[in-house]
Amino acid sequence: MAQTDPTSSGGDQWFGHPKGLSFLFATEMWERFSYYGMRALLVLYMVDYLLKPATAPTVWGLETLQRGLEAVSGPLGIQPLASQIYGLYTGLVYLTPIIGGIIADRWIGRTPTVIVGAMLMVAGHFMMAFEHLFLVALMLLIVGNGAFKPNIATQVGGLYRPDDPRRDRAYSVFYVGINVGAFFSPLVCGSLGENVGWHYGFASAGIGMAIGLATYLAGLRRLPKQQFQDIPVAAVKAADPDLKKSLLGLAILLIPSTLFWAAYEQQGNTMALWIEQSTDRRLDLLFWQGEIPVTWFQAINPLMIFAFTPPLIACWSRWAKTGREPSTIGKMSLGCILLALAYLIMAAAAWSGLPASASWLWVVLYFAVLTIAELHFSPIGLSFVSNMASDSSRSTVMGIWLATSFLGNIAAGWIGSFWSTLSNAGFFLLIAALAVVAACSIHFAKPVLRTVLSNT
């Protein structure tokens, strides 16, 4: 296969980075707009409308799915069933990238796989406007995301040579793009869904995904040529020793990663119910008075990503000069500890609000700590995986890393089903305990990880 230089465009730069990064940034921004906009509505939509006795029988396949879930969990009411469907959906979203990575690496290439995935997601979002197609729409979104996500993330790394110091900064920029979309989506899709109609909210998510697809197509010539003009070679049969060590490291991190995401993903599941049912959302300002919409709280986390990323990176840079920057594994362990602290804050909120509702300021504090925890865990993994794998298997390995969230999201849905049976404070303490176990798992595995990962 004829190789091309990822930076062969020479002067074709934008703010010190290849112009292709700006198109990938914008494409991912709109894709995340669609994903988080739909996700902000999903549990509320199911609990408040779709799973009610009047509408549930019209949903194709719902009765069969419910019987399957109840065979494992026992009888499920509306809220536990909604939480389990949410967990199943978000979990499968992180499992299918393995398949999408293999398809791209071995058969059709990354760009065609991204395009097909985007088209499937556009169709899925618009199908959400029809109650009877609800599960069909979720399946299209799951498959489309599996084709889209690992390959567009891999293409960011493909814009740079392996030794280019701009790579890590590029992934930080890319991660901001994710959160720009995640910030605006609850404000737009959530407001339409809550105040105008559920289907208007879902349709706006579909429009966002369509804009993302158009943006990607417009930027094709800015991407490295081998990413979309050549059909990739089959993955090598025997991985090199460094790759084997890295994959072993991922295997060791599987359990703590699962626990981290099981706790983290409650923000779009049971936290939405807490905000709706147990939070005093009244806000009195000179220019606006009333209740803050439930879905708007989902915009706090991405907003704080914008605010916290620059000072955190600057802090790490200062520490690096004196040799005090935490290692990769150290950052992940700290992220788990901070995640536990976020849910201890919510346990305190539950106690403070008895017997009435708790202030919305507790939720803001929760999201602040949760965001710092996320920044110690998620973007670091993207850069690490992109750098550790050979080009012939990079999308596959990226898919494997994303799939570590699969079990976590499945567990998040199952754990969320206990929301109706535990006290609010007891539930939040349970989630905090999971995060503590994740931190301990990473800490005790650190000596082993040091032998398999060179950058720990």
- Rounded Cα–Cα distance for residues 362 and 345 (Å): 7
Q: Reduced to 3 states, what is the DSSP secondary structure of residue 289?
A: strand
Q: What is the pLDDT of residue 225?
A: 57
- Rounded Cα–Cα distance for residues 150 and 173 (Å): 17
Q: Strand ranges (DSSP E) for 285-394?
A: 289-291, 358-359
User: Which residues 6+ apart lie within 8 Å of 402 measured at CB?
Assistant: 94, 97, 98, 149, 150
Q: What is the pLDDT of residue 354?
A: 77
Q: What is the pLDDT of residue 94?
A: 85
Which of these, 186, 238, 167, 208, lies nearest to 380 by C-alpha position? Answer: 167
- Rounded Cα–Cα distance for residues 379 and 246 (Å): 17
Amino acid at site 380: I
Amino acid at site 191: S
Q: Please name the residue ranges forming H helices in 159-197.
A: 166-185, 191-195
Q: Which two tokens stand for residue 137?
A: 């729409």
Q: What is the pLDDT of residue 390?
A: 64
CB 103 within 8 A of CB 63: no
Amino acid at site 3: Q
The Cα-based distances of 298 to 186, 236, 302, 347, 359 in angstroms read 6, 42, 8, 19, 16
- State phi, psi for 61 to the nearest 5 degrees: 85, -5
The Cα-based distances of 445 to 333, 376, 388, 404, 455 in angstroms read 10, 17, 20, 17, 15
CB 201 within 8 A of CB 306: no
Question: Around Cβ 296, how many Cβ atoms within 10 Å?
Answer: 17
pLDDT in tens, the chain (456 residues): 333 444 544 446 766 788 899 999 999 999 999 999 999 999 999 999 999 999 999 999 999 999 999 999 899 999 999 999 999 998 899 889 989 988 998 888 899 999 999 999 999 999 998 999 999 999 999 999 999 999 998 898 888 887 776 776 788 788 888 889 999 999 999 999 999 999 999 999 999 999 999 999 999 988 865 433 444 444 444 445 655 766 777 788 888 989 999 999 999 889 999 999 999 999 887 777 888 999 899 899 999 988 898 888 888 878 888 888 888 778 889 999 999 999 999 999 999 877 778 999 999 999 999 999 999 898 776 666 666 666 666 777 778 877 778 888 889 999 999 999 999 999 999 999 999 999 999 899 888 877 765 544
CB 428 within 8 A of CB 350: yes
> Domains in the chain, ordered, with CATH?
17-282+296-452 (1.20.1250.20)
CB 51 within 8 A of CB 78: yes
Q: Which two tokens stand for residue 119?
A: 């088209």
Model pLDDT for residues 114-127, shown as the tens digit of each residue:
999 999 999 999 99
CB 242 within 8 A of CB 388: yes
- State phi, psi for 132 to the nearest 5 degrees: -70, -20
Give the containing element (helix H, strand E) for 13: strand 13-14
How far does Cα 313 stand from its chain's mean position? Answer: 21
